[in-house]
Chain A
Amino acid sequence: MIKEGLLLLSAAALPCAAADMATLPGGNYSPFFVRKAAKPVAVAPFRLDTTPVTNEEFLNFVTTHPQWRKSAVPRIFAEPGYLAHWRDDLTPPGGRPHQPVTNISWFAAGAYCAAQGKTLPSTDQWEYALTDRGRDAGAVRKQILAWYAVPNGAELASVDDARPNGYGVAGLVGLVWEWTSDFSAAMAGPELRNVGDKNGGLFCGGGSLGAKDAADYASFMRYSFRASLKASYVTANLGFRCASELPR
């Protein structure tokens, strides 16, 4: 008990390392796969964390929000692998404070963002940030495919090493997959009724018929992955970052 009190004190004594956020101007973008006839979607201006949330940042959160520690979290919010790579409730893996935190469920990610007065980004916001007005599109796609080819279990890089894109947002690809507030929405899109058959077409060839660009395999992978998730799932390569409205 005393030990825990000390930990709380020491955490409170740390400078409040609020994540840096980039401000993204509003604009239109054409989402891959989800919307009918590839109609551009308007995205309002918003702010997005420049990097994914790290082990260190998540430690600060569970220190002050004990209900989200791995020994305390109700099963409805996170499956048993929640924070599996942490040694115990308050001990992330040693020497890797700036790695993206993973083994995080959608509920835990959302609770973290809410505690910062933020939310998870919508899929539209996240994808809009990635499109980066088309800057370096070829290089980004190459980076994505190279990353997808990296076997699971490889050591995660530090968020400090990720290069910011034109919006100043770093590490959208190449580090971890990221939760979005409406991750499962792709499953509910009306156009899915026209894609493939009900039983098997969704994630195989049938699905790609709905794609804006059939060659855009990388985006297809991303949407399929999100659609395969459930909110209590955790995996070793799935993390998150937060977004917020522009201050008025």
Chain B
Amino acid sequence: MKHLVIFCALLFALPALPETPLPSDSLYHLGGHWTDQDGHDTPLNTLRGQPVVLAMAYTRCKEMCPLTVQSMQRIEADWFRRSSMPVRFAFFSFDWVSDTPARLKDYAVNHRIELEHWGFYQGREPAVRELAAALGISFLRDEAGEISHSYAITLLDADGVLIYQQTGLQPDGSDILAKLATVSSSGK
């Protein structure tokens, strides 16, 4: 019993220990600078610690992006209906010119998004290019500022390792939900 108490005390002490190194294939090795919808500087690795469901999109986008966000909101609703395990939802903007933090905040408010679970992030061109490259997402920004891009919702585990990518439209997000259940129950 005494040992158990000590063991539990040690467990609580763990967060004070230096963090374990990131897995080699973690997205959180990316060093790009991001700013959230409230203007806070947000290195990518601040998302470490719980699974993350993320997509790249932009607020001017009229076609795929609203569907992507809707799909993620549906995943969010279904997940928190059945579980209290924390999951973050993240919107990374392709549009380093127009998507200011204020604009991202407006977008979140207009889409009735729970900022308690979500973050909206904008970064400069190199950060956007690196994140897209790491996720295998192609995009093209033409001279007029129009952006064409491939589509994916990506699930990361708590250490930022890519677990699953949904590249086809699947409005109910059932694949991501199923994977999310396995990630959060694996103790990561």
Instruction: State the A residues within 8 Å of B (CB).
Output: 34-35, 41-42, 74-77, 106-107, 110, 114, 119, 181-182, 184-190, 227, 230-232
Of the candidates B24, B129, B138, the one whose C-beta lies within 8 Å of that of A76 is B24
Would you call A76 and B133 a contact (CB within 8 A)? no
Would you call A75 and B24 a contact (CB within 8 A)? yes
How many A-B residue pairs have C-beta atoms within 8 angstroms? Tell me. 60
Instruction: State the B residues within 8 Å of A (CB).
Output: 22, 24-27, 29-30, 126, 129-130, 132-134, 136, 138-140, 142-143, 146, 148-150
Chain A residue nearest in CB terms to B27: A76
- Tell me whether A181 and B129 are in contact in the complex, defined as CB-CB below 8 angstroms, given that A76-B24, A188-B138, A188-B148 are known contacts: yes
CB distance from A144 to the nearest CB of B (A): 24
Question: Chain B's interface: helix, strand, loop or mixed, by majority?
Answer: mixed
Chain A residue nearest in CB terms to B31: A111
Report chain B residues within 8 Å CB of A181.
129
Of the candidates A76, A77, A189, the one whose C-beta lies within 8 Å of that of B140 is A189
Of the candidates A74, A119, A184, the one whose C-beta lies within 8 Å of that of B25 is A74
11 additional contacts, CB 8 Å, given A41-B143, A76-B30?
Answer: A74-B26, A184-B132, A184-B133, A184-B139, A187-B138, A188-B140, A189-B140, A190-B146, A230-B133, A231-B130, A231-B134
CB distance from B175 to the nearest CB of A (A): 20
CB distance from B158 to the nearest CB of A (A): 16
Of the candidates A41, A74, A186, the one whose C-beta lies within 8 Å of that of B22 is A74
- Tell me whether A107 and B139 are in contact in the complex, defined as CB-CB below 8 angstroms, given that A74-B22, A75-B24, A75-B25 are known contacts: no
28 contacts between A and B (CB under 8 A): A34-B140, A35-B142, A42-B143, A74-B24, A74-B29, A75-B24, A75-B25, A76-B25, A76-B27, A76-B29, A76-B30, A76-B134, A77-B29, A106-B133, A107-B133, A110-B130, A114-B126, A181-B129, A184-B138, A184-B139, A185-B139, A185-B140, A188-B139, A188-B149, A189-B140, A227-B138, A231-B130, A232-B134
